[in-house]
Amino acid sequence: MYTNFKIYSIPIMSFNIKNVLHSNGFGNKERCKSVYVILYESLKKAILNKTLTSGLKLPPTRVLAKDIGISRSTVLKAYDLLVLEKLINAIPGSGYYISTLKKEKNLHDIYEVEGTGKKYPKISKRGAVLKKGVQIIDPKSNSGIAFRPGLPPLDIFPVNKWKKLSGDYWRTVRFSQLSYSDPRGLSVLRENVASYLKLYRNIYCSPDQIIITTGALHSLSLIGDALIDKNNEVILENPTNPLVYNLFKSLRAKIYQSEIDDEGISIDNVTSKAPKLIYTTPSNQYPVGIRMTLKRRVKLLNWANKKKAFIIEDDYDHEFSNWGNPIPSIYSLDNQQRTIYSGTFNKLLHPSIRLGYMIVPYYLLDTIIGLYQQSNRFVSPATQNILSTFIEKGYLNQHLRSVIEASIERKASFLEHFRRAFDNEIEINSKNTGLHFIGQLNTEINDVDISNHFSNKGVITHPYSKCFIAGEQKNGLVMGYSSVNTTVIRETINRMKIVYTDLLNS
């Protein structure tokens, strides 16, 4: 009895009915009870404790009877009792489905227990810092993608082309491609990325030095792990991306900040330091939007050489910021392999693609590969392959042009409507070279509160003050303008104006 094992296919997931029944009491020896009662009781228990959730289809009576070695009429009797109690619905011609219970408990109510360091081992220092920085993205708020910074025009991504390439990949996939893969990334993609960088950024590198990652933050995390021990010195730009700051804080680095002036990062206040790493965003300083001058790039490189430090050049949106007016990357000015160049496709295509790359100096290559192999292992070869063909077929090039065109139109539209709505209440500096603006708030209310208020009304902005790692925390909003079309831009700005006026008057 009860020897068969079957996984049932259901709309949302698959479940192993035998396992469910056993963990809810079926199979316990209860002499005085009939089998149909035991089955009924264990199914009922599983429904009430939400192991079997509403909408789930139960196995057909014949199948369940065969699986657990009882007669079909016994299963029918148990199902009938559940129908009588309205715990399941019988839909003629379709089957038995779990009903919606009046008071649905959510999983957290069942499993969430008090979690303190008294009861469990203490969280590591690194874990505690990273935990503090957690920001859960509510999938429901994704309908409100305007004006989340860091998003390209999502609505023009060529979904059909991607779908076709994806279909082609899976149609011709070899079983060997389903196995473990090279942590550096597929060689075909690394070669295509090397050619892409040559054409678009005038960067010459060997595909051997390219590592495919899930994005700029992943690259940065690998570099941090490879180089930083407690109290090692790191120079960050001020302001900077809060996630970057948090990453180095979690590694317990000694963080020094360098101010941003009109030429980009100024190292004058840190010349006495001995950093291992200098992190910079020269094409489009995040979030200020300054482009580092050539003179400053050379100065930074010379200083890094003197200090035997590495520079991380985060060229996260070089495609946009260098369009029409390119400036040499620090990487291409460097003849000492002192620059780790980081790029990402998450900004150009869409963040959900999770693909980025870095060019790693030979000195660090094996360490980074070792770290990668023993943590994330590798990026999905299917996605890598599809992107590689996307580049080869010239689709990336076509898409880039469409993105630039759309962004120019959206930038003009955003500026026009925003300035009309907010005038000098929220001032915008239009010189910013990337896909976002900073709106300077001329009010006493702080940007965190304003940002939260907007977010509650479905408008996404990031508080500028959170980007400052030292000194004055300027009050402003970081807003991406390019992810949605001009109609949505206009409507969202109008909504923002109403929400903002209400807030000021409240």
Ligand X SMILES: Cc1ncc(COP(=O)(O)O)c(C=O)c1O
Sole binder of ligand X in the list 275, 356, 381, 476 (CB under 6 A)? 356
Q: Is 432 in the site for ligand X (CB under 6 A)?
A: no
480, β-bridge pairs:
147, 436
Q: Is 434 in the site for ligand X (CB under 6 A)?
A: no
- Residue 271: CB minimum distance to ligand X, A: 24
Q: Which is nearer to ligand X, 43 or 210 (CB)?
A: 210
- Residue 432: CB minimum distance to ligand X, A: 13
- Residue 388: CB minimum distance to ligand X, A: 18
- Residue 149: CB minimum distance to ligand X, A: 7
Q: Which is nearer to ligand X, 25 or 351 (CB)?
A: 351
DSSP string, 127-185: HHHHHHT--PPPGGGGG--TB-TT---GGGS-HHHHHHHHHHHHHH--GGGGS---TT-
Number of residues that bind ligand X (CB under 6 A): 14
Residue nearest ligand X, CB atom distance: 215
Q: Which is nearer to ligand X, 97 or 323 (CB)?
A: 323
- Residue 242: CB minimum distance to ligand X, A: 9
- Residue 447: CB minimum distance to ligand X, A: 17
- Residue 243: CB minimum distance to ligand X, A: 7
8-47 binders of ligand X (CB under 6 A): none
Q: Catalogue the E-assigned strands of 167-314.
A: 210-213, 233-238, 254-261, 264-265, 277-280, 310-314
Q: Is 316 in the site for ligand X (CB under 6 A)?
A: yes
Q: Which is nearer to ligand X, 96 or 157 (CB)?
A: 157
Contact 152, 483 (CB under 8 A): yes
Q: Is 281 in the site for ligand X (CB under 6 A)?
A: yes
Q: Which is nearer to ligand X, 42 or 241 (CB)?
A: 241
What is the spatial distance between Cα 339 and Cα 331, in angstroms, rounded to a whole number? 5
Contact 86, 99 (CB under 8 A): yes
- Residue 176: CB minimum distance to ligand X, A: 29
Asked if the peptide bond before residue 287 counts as cis, ω within 30 degrees of 0, the response is yes
Name the token pair of 191.
Answer: 């070669």
- Residue 236: CB minimum distance to ligand X, A: 11
Interface segment toward ligand X; rule CB under 6 A; list 26-34, 128-136, 340-348, 442-450: 340-348
Q: Is 344 in the site for ligand X (CB under 6 A)?
A: yes
Cα–Cα–Cα angle for 468, 345, 355, nearest 5°?
100
Q: Which is nearer to ligand X, 15 or 378 (CB)?
A: 378
Asked if the peptide bond before residue 5 counts as cis, ω within 30 degrees of 0, the response is no
Locate all alpha helices (DSSP H) within 353-394, ordered by sequence: 362-373, 381-392
Q: Which is nearer to ligand X, 40 or 286 (CB)?
A: 286
Sole binder of ligand X in the list 61, 322, 346, 475 (CB under 6 A)? 346
What is the spatial distance between Cα 438 and Cα 448, in angstroms, rounded to a whole number? 14
- Residue 75: CB minimum distance to ligand X, A: 51
**E strand or H helix at 339, and its extent?**
strand 339-344
- Residue 247: CB minimum distance to ligand X, A: 11
Report CA 355 to chain centroid distance, whole Å: 10
Locate all alpha helices (DSSP H) within 435-478, ordered by sequence: 447-456
Q: Is 241 in the site for ligand X (CB under 6 A)?
A: yes
139-178 binders of ligand X (CB under 6 A): 150
Beta-strand pair 339-344/310-314:
parallel
Q: Which is nearer to ligand X, 216 or 450 (CB)?
A: 216
What x-and-dash track marks residues 78-97 binding ligand X by CB under 6 A? Answer: --------------------
Contacts of 22 (CB under 8 A, 6+ apart): 2
Q: Which is nearer to ligand X, 256 or 316 (CB)?
A: 316
How many residues would you count in the chain? 506
Interface segment toward ligand X; rule CB under 6 A; list 341-349, 370-378, 384-392, 495-503: 341-349
Asked if the peptide bond before residue 239 counts as cis, ω within 30 degrees of 0, the response is yes
Name the token pair of 356.
Answer: 């980025």
Q: How many helices (H) and strands (E) does the chain have?
A: 18, 16
- Residue 108: CB minimum distance to ligand X, A: 28
Q: Is 286 in the site for ligand X (CB under 6 A)?
A: yes
What x-and-dash track marks residues 378-417 binding ligand X by CB under 6 A? Answer: ----------------------------------------
Cα–Cα–Cα angle for 374, 376, 379, nearest 5°?
130
Q: Which is nearer to ligand X, 219 or 475 (CB)?
A: 219
Locate all alpha helices (DSSP H) within 290-345, ordered by sequence: 294-307, 318-321, 330-333
Q: Is 314 in the site for ligand X (CB under 6 A)?
A: yes
**Percentages (nearest 5) of helix, strand, coil residues in the chain:** 45, 15, 40
205-234 binders of ligand X (CB under 6 A): 215-217
SS3 sequence of 75-121: HHHHHHHHHHCCCEEEECCCEEEECCCCCCCCHHHHHCCCCCCCCCC
Q: Which residues bind ligand X (CB under 6 A)?
A: 150, 215-217, 241, 281, 286, 314, 316, 344, 346-347, 351, 356
